[in-house]
Each structure stands twice: as structure tokens, then as C-alpha cells.
Amino acid sequence: MLTMQPRRCFIMSDEKYLHVSMGSVVGSVGNAGQGVYSASKAGLVGFTKSTAKELARFGVSVNVVEPGFIDTDMTSHIVKGAQREKILGKIPLRRFGNSKEVAEAVLFLIANTYVTGQVLKVDGGLSLQF
């Protein structure tokens, strides 16, 4: 586990280390019928913030990306028709994101080692609605 014996893992090196977790906007805003999933993603946020505090002195940045609805093979099979339109009505940008946009958020966090303990939402503004 990342937090076990951090001194042994990081103190001997001049390299910069980072960790980016993949969360979900559901971890911040919840979703009916997804209590367990929401709790696990919310726990990931707490873990990220605590781990960032613990490992910052070793030069380790720890962050989490929280995507909203992203167009993927999975969502195209699950979210269709009227249900998709209802969801789009809740997203201020009125569209689903794409995997490239999520990857660009991760790349931003990788490129900026001064950013730590943060939750970067990639949700088209969905979390603003709650």
C-alpha cells in the first residue's frame, strides 16, 4: 500500500512521485440506487486527501479525477433515449464528455506536481446542479 513505510519508499530518491485515482462525480453528489458505489468513491476522496497530507513531505502528489457521464461503450448500451435526454438536461454543457477529456485531466495533474490533495471534476458542470 502506498502509505505503508513511505520514508523507505521515497526519502532515498530525488525523483518526484505522483498518484492519480479515478473517482466519479457520484462520490461527491450521490445517486439514487448507487449507495455503495457512491460511498466507495466518496471514500476515495477522503483517502486521496489524507494520503496527500501524509506524503507531501516526501514530494509525492496525490489527486483524484471525478468524471461525470462519459461516452463509452458501457454508457452507450446503458443510457439511451429518454433517459439520456433527462441526464443531458442536468448537464450545463448539454453533452456527455469523452475519454480524451478525462485523459487530458489526468495529464494536467501529472504535469503539475505542485497540485496535491485535489479533486478535479470532469463533468460538464453536472455537480453544479446539486
Set 10, 17, 37, 47: catalytic member: 37
Contact 48, 3 (CB under 8 A): no
Contact 2, 51 (CB under 8 A): yes
Q: Is-catalytic flag, 17? A: no
* Number of neighbours of residue 43 by Cβ within 10 angstroms: 12
Q: Report how far residue 96's alpha carbon sits from residue 75's, in angstroms, rounded to the nearest whole number.
A: 10
| Angle 43-75-88 from CA coordinates, rounded to 5° | 90
Contact 58, 15 (CB under 8 A): no
Cross-strand bridge partners of residue 63: 20
What amino acid positions are annotated as catalytic residues? 37
